[in-house]
């Protein structure tokens, strides 16, 4: 076996949705060299490989990103990181527009607006979505794709990730890769449990069997902090075909009913886990099988379902054709899958900050392996890939030194003006309380926004002047302001946005 050594600026492990989009963003916005290492082929790898018929995470007309945060928090029964959800949600529509510009077909009505499916989804023709994304990434001049290479371990030095090692799937080659930054964008973990399908479908799995949880394993072995790995995802799916049920439930408004025709979804609740739990309990109590009530839908709706599943799960359409009965004539039987660990649906994965940096220097995570941020779906993975790309695409050492230098320059100018105005510069003028004032200004305005910091400074300057006659109350009000801010607006007034 021969060894091949490679040096790059950014190594992306996994060429799925998040990985390819991160490479595309770095390629467009930065001159840094990027290497995608994918154990299959990026053209049809990852959960997007078979295509999708809708984008399940989108801020539809009349709604705002915080609405999606609230939905995901409720659906996960509060087991979320709201800061991560918000930074993702703020980018959902932006990444959708990028994909449309790259060639993704998004359905529109007669007024040119996207066709919504429910409160958070829009319809697409997405069978070719992954090839479009893979092509966009591979065409960037500074992006190199290494297909059929299975990365097995990170390289670490002094608690910093410096690259990774792996093996060719097809040839006797060992790869030793050095990188200034590494993005883990692998899939979740399948195969922990036997497939929950009887009869001829007993071999079928909802989640790709090639998603082995390697990204999680590498993180654990390297000492990265992980979160919520005990939170498993059980998908509610069409029996035998493992096709998604949301296409039917939201597409034609089908309700969950038991064998007696009783609607049971309202009895147990409407979150993802409650829908699965209700189905399990109805079966255990002898009220099964359970179905999505589709009998009586129009022929036009039936045709829409045929087309929708051909884009994503053609086996469901083929099953209807083979049986000679479509959903308008016969309800669709449903059941839960076996459990999976998958951060795109639950909160399982690496503990990351708002830049998707892990607790190990130089290592980032996005998509199914990034924890704390459930209900990502396709656009959420794209958004996290972009967030990580923007952080990795920057020479952090250069900008840290630059920020220190600029900060020191402004501090010097400020000190000179202070002494000129007050005729004296004394240590007593620069106590801890002055540092606290400055910190409060930044936190109030938003840690990710220069406009926010300036606005926070102006607001607190006026507040401080107004309270000059009541110095004993100033810190009380400051403290209350910070508490309220942390509770209701942890990202600050502006968050990461700028005035433009």
- Taking only the tens place, the pLDDT of each residue in 285-319 is 999 899 999 999 999 999 999 988 887 788 899 99
Place of tokens 């992306």: 12
pLDDT at 165 over 80: yes
Residue 426 confidence (pLDDT) = 75
CA angle 308, 312, 314 (to 5 degrees): 80
More confident residue, 30 or 165: 165
Beta partners for residue 66, in sequence order: none
Entry pTM: 0.80
DSSP string, 277-289: HHHHHHHHTT---
pLDDT at 362 over 80: yes
Q: Which pair of structure tokens corresponds to residue 279? A: 């189905």
Rounded CA-CA distance 242/312 in Å is 11
Measured in whole angstroms, how far is the alpha carbon of residue 433 from the centre of its chain?
39
- Strands of the sheet with 122-126, listed across from one edge: 52-55, 122-126, 105-106
Instruction: Give the model confidence (pLDDT) of 114-124 as tens digits.
Output: 998 888 999 99
Of 196, 235, 254, the residue nearest 313 (C-alpha): 235
Mean per-residue pLDDT for 126-145?
94
Q: Kindly tell me the sign of the dihedral angle through the C-alpha atoms of 459, 460, 462, 466.
A: positive
Instruction: Give the model confidence (pLDDT) of 451-481 as tens digits.
Output: 888 888 888 888 878 877 777 777 787 778 7
Given a contact cutoff of 8 angstroms between Cβ atoms, the answer to whether 108 and 114 are in contact is yes
Residue 55 confidence (pLDDT) = 93
Q: Which pair of structure tokens corresponds to residue 75? A: 């659906």
Q: Work out the pLDDT band at 161, boundaries 50, 70, 90.
A: very high
Residue 395 confidence (pLDDT) = 66
Residue 200 confidence (pLDDT) = 66
Residue 445 confidence (pLDDT) = 84
Residue 457 confidence (pLDDT) = 87
Measured in whole angstroms, how far is the alpha carbon of residue 262 from the centre of its chain?
36
Cis peptide before 289 (omega within 30 of 0): yes
Given a contact cutoff of 8 angstroms between Cβ atoms, the answer to whether 190 and 208 are in contact is yes
Residue 329 confidence (pLDDT) = 94
Given a contact cutoff of 8 angstroms between Cβ atoms, the answer to whether 207 and 344 are in contact is no
Given a contact cutoff of 8 angstroms between Cβ atoms, the answer to whether 381 and 18 are in contact is yes
Instruction: Give the model confidence (pLDDT) of 410-441 as tens digits.
Output: 888 988 888 888 777 777 777 777 777 788 78
- For residue 320, the number of C-alpha atoms closer than 13 Å in the C-beta half-sphere is 22
More confident residue, 95 or 127: 95
Residue 206 confidence (pLDDT) = 77
Q: Work out the pLDDT band at 10, boundaries 50, 70, 90.
A: very high
Beta partners for residue 279, in sequence order: none
Q: Percent of the chain scored above 90 by pLDDT?
A: 62
Summary count for the chain: helices (H), strands (E)? 16, 16
Q: Work out the pLDDT band at 149, boundaries 50, 70, 90.
A: very high
Output the average pLDDT for the chain.
90
Instruction: Give the model confidence (pLDDT) of 216-259 as tens digits.
Output: 999 999 999 999 999 999 999 999 888 889 889 888 999 999 99
Given a contact cutoff of 8 angstroms between Cβ atoms, the answer to whether 427 and 470 are in contact is no
CA angle 222, 226, 230 (to 5 degrees): 130
CB atoms within 10 A of CB 454: 15
Given a contact cutoff of 8 angstroms between Cβ atoms, the answer to whether 114 and 107 are in contact is yes
Rounded CA-CA distance 127/16 in Å is 15
Given a contact cutoff of 8 angstroms between Cβ atoms, the answer to whether 239 and 276 are in contact is no
């Amino acid at each position: 076996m021969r060894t091949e050594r490679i040096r790059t600026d950014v190594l992306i492990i996994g060429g799925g949705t998040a990985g390819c989009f991160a490479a595309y963003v770095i390629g467009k916005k930065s001159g840094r060299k990027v290497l995608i290492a994918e154990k299959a082929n990026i053209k049809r790898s990852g959960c997007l490989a078979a295509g999708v018929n809708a984008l399940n995470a989108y801020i539809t007309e009349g709604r705002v990103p915080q609405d999606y945060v609230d939905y995901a928090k409720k659906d996960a029964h509060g087991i979320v990181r709201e800061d991560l959800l918000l930074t993702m949600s703020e980018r959902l529509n932006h990444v959708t527009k990028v994909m449309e510009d790259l060639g993704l077909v998004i359905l529109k009505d007669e007024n040119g607006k996207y066709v919504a499916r429910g409160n958070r989804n829009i319809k697409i023709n997405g069978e070719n979505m992954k090839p479009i994304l893979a092509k966009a990434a591979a065409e960037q001049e500074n992006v190199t794709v290494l297909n059929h290479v299975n990365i097995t371990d990170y390289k670490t030095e002094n608690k910093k990730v410096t690259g990774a090692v792996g093996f060719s799937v097809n040839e006797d080659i060992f790869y030793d890769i050095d990188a200034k930054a590494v993005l883990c964008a692998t899939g979740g973990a399948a195969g922990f449990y036997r497939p929950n399908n009887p009869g001829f479908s007993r071999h079928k799995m909802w989640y790709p069997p090639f998603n082995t949880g390697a990204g999680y394993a590498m993180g654990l072995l390297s000492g990265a902090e992980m979160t919520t790995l005990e939170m498993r995802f059980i998908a509610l799916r069409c029996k035998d075909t493992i096709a998604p049920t949301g296409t039917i439930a939201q597409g034609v408004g089908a309700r969950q009913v038991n064998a007696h025709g009783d609607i049971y979804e309202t009895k147990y609740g409407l979150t993802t886990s409650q829908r699965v739990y209700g189905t399990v309990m109805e079966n255990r109590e002898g009220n099964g099988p359970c179905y999505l009530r589709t009998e009586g839908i129009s022929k036009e709706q039936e045709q829409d379902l045929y087309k929708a599943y051909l884009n994503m799960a053609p086996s469901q359409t083929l099953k209807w054709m083979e049986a000679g009965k479509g959903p308008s004539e016969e309800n669709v039987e449903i059941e839960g899958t076996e459990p999976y660990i998958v951060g795109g649906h639950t909160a399982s994965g690496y503990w990351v900050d708002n830049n998707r940096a892990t607790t190990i220097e130089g290592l980032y995570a996005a998509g199914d392996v990034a924890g704390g941020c459930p209900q990502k779906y396709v656009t959420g993975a794209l958004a996290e890939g972009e967030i990580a790309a923007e952080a990795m695409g920057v020479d952090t050492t250069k900008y840290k030194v630059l920020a220190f230098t600029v900060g020191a320059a402004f501090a010097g100018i400020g000190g000179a003006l202070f002494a000129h105005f007050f005729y004296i510069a004394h240590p007593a003028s620069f106590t801890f309380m002055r540092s606290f004032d400055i910190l409060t200004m930044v936190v109030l305005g938003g840690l990710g926004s220069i406009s926010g910091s300036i606005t926070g400074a102006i607001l607190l300057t006026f507040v401080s002047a107004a309270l000059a006659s009541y110095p004993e109350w100033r810190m009380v009000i400051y403290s209350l302001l910070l508490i309220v801010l942390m509770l209701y607006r942890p990202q600050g007034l502006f968050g990461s946005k700028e005035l433009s």
